[in-house]
Amino acid sequence: QSALTQPASVSGSPGQSITISCTGTNSDIGTYIYVSWYQQHPGKAPKLLIYDVSYRPSGVSSRFSGSKSGSTASLTISGLQFEDEADYYCSSYTSSNTPRVFGGGTKLTVL
């Protein structure tokens, strides 16, 4: 199962909004709602930000939002803060015999 496709890096200034894309296929994002997003700071474990395309777990800031169109999911971070600088990963359920897949990750730089 090939990884989902994410841009290697994105950047933005404090207060701005950025969007990270995650492109899959009809075997994963295109068919299932089980798209999730994770934030990982250096040396730390990943943290769940979004599940089922657009739902936020309790405690996650409303500045993080998710959406999906066709086989592409997106994570939008509004009101960028320096603390948002981290790596971001998407993940999806898939219909293959390896039922989970991650994107390659996107490094967010807050300038």
Site residues, other proteins (CB under 8 A): 1, 3, 32, 34, 36, 38, 40, 45-48, 51-52, 57, 87, 89, 91, 93, 97-105
- Residue closer to other proteins by CB (options 16, 44) is 44
* 103: nearest Cα among 58, 59, 40, 14: 40
- Least distance in Å: CB of 111 to other proteins? 23
* 33: nearest Cα among 87, 60, 71, 3: 71
CA 109 from chain center: how many Å?
15
- Least distance in Å: CB of 90 to other proteins? 10
